[in-house]
Amino acid sequence: MQNYYRLSIWLIAGIVLAANLPTMLEKTYAAITINGAGATFPFPLIDTWRVEYQNVKPDVNINYQSIGSGGGIKQFTEKTVDFGASDAPLNEEEEKKVGGNAVHIPETIGSVAIVYNLPQVGDSELKLSGPIISDIFLGKITKWDDPKIKELNPDVELPSDTILTVHRSDGSGTTFVFTEYLSNVSSQWHEQIGTGKSVQWPVGVGAPGNEGVSGSVKSTPNSIGYVELAYALTTGLNTASIQNKEGNVIKPSLESTSAAVAASVKNLPKGNESWTGVSIVNADGADSYPIATMTYLLLYKDLSANPTIDEAKAKALIDFISWAITDGQQFAPDLGYVPLPEELVKLDQDTLKSITFKGNPIVQ
């Protein structure tokens, strides 16, 4: 009889334990989900961070929506995500929407590649200049064997086929960087089209995201488009070499992108200052690739300004970003990104130290 009572007690205890186990585990691990949204440009890297950070902090989940820089800034300013991501720094109007209460944290460095699909050319290197690229996307150069293109490519058998341009259909930081470059090298582009995450394209077809542009170019002969270098590398698309500020024709690569950053980093503002107008396109330097860019994480100077963030999440968010700009940089090169140079890491760390929650520093 005594054994029977013992068995009954153990059975009841087991039922109670099983019923309460989910709650007990939740309290033990206190899982935190950090939500971000924005640029497609850094998505392959952020997605890798999402997976790798589980090995560092199993109780912190990173959820990132790759919706384009325009969407990321919108969700950031509306405070529906914990952090935004953008390839373009906030402009004056966007700065006003957040009351100057935003910080920019460069998370990685990449470049915008000009990709093309020319079966007739094969693996021959295609060389282009800024004015030629501008004229193609303005609709002034319409054939692949245009004399201006042939002059730069005398040894390439260019077809007489019509050029089809592919651009982003969504609000995009990649578009911002690309149009910023075209505005820098072409007065006509600057005056007629300008720089923006969305612009009125004179010609061509649109596709959503870097993924969409990559897919459209890959499936459409005689097309040309612009994508983040990582997408060009992963899809196997041909990339054009571009004439830089010094007149040298440069292939997009980690090395040529790094050269552009090295020439620009000394002129950057502090992370909690305004970054409106900051750019590294068409940088000085003989080896600099001309369409290089930083991409940014966006946070509030005081994280309590965002109602989605409590004190525990604020700490988890800063811890994650601290890891991303240091240990997380090891994953950048294999994905086509340039790791942050020491000067930028130091700048980011100083920015994180300035961030507060209800007026108290998060980084002690």
The predicted-structure confidence for 143-179, as pLDDT tens digits, reads as follows 999 999 999 999 999 999 999 999 999 988 899 999 9
Instruction: Work out the average pLDDT over 38-63.
Output: 96
Amino acid 5: pLDDT: 45
> Does pLDDT of 360 surpass 60?
yes
Amino acid 29: pLDDT: 46
CATH class of the 11-18+23-109+295-361 domain in this structure: alpha beta
> Does pLDDT of 127 surpass 80?
yes
* Burial environment of residue 310 by CB neighbours within 10 A (0 to 12, 13 to 18, 19 or more): middle
Please tell me the distance from the alpha carbon of residue 255 to that of residue 248, in angstroms, as a whole number: 15
> Does pLDDT of 2 surpass 70?
no
Taking the model in full, what pTM does it have?
A: 0.81
> Does pLDDT of 94 surpass 70?
yes
Q: At what angle do helices 311-324 and 43-56 cross, to 10 degrees?
A: 110
Owner of token pair 């200052």: 273
> What residue spans define the domains of the chain?
11-18+23-109+295-361, 111-267
Count H helices and E strands in the chain, helices first.
Answer: 13, 14
Distance in Å from the first CA to the final CA of the chain: 61
Please tell me the distance from the alpha carbon of residue 113 to that of residue 53, in angstroms, as a whole number: 29
Instruction: Work out the average pLDDT over 234-238.
Output: 90
The predicted-structure confidence for 269-320, as pLDDT tens digits, reads as follows 988 899 998 999 999 999 999 999 999 999 999 999 999 999 999 999 999 9
Domain 111-267 has CATH 3.40.50.300: no
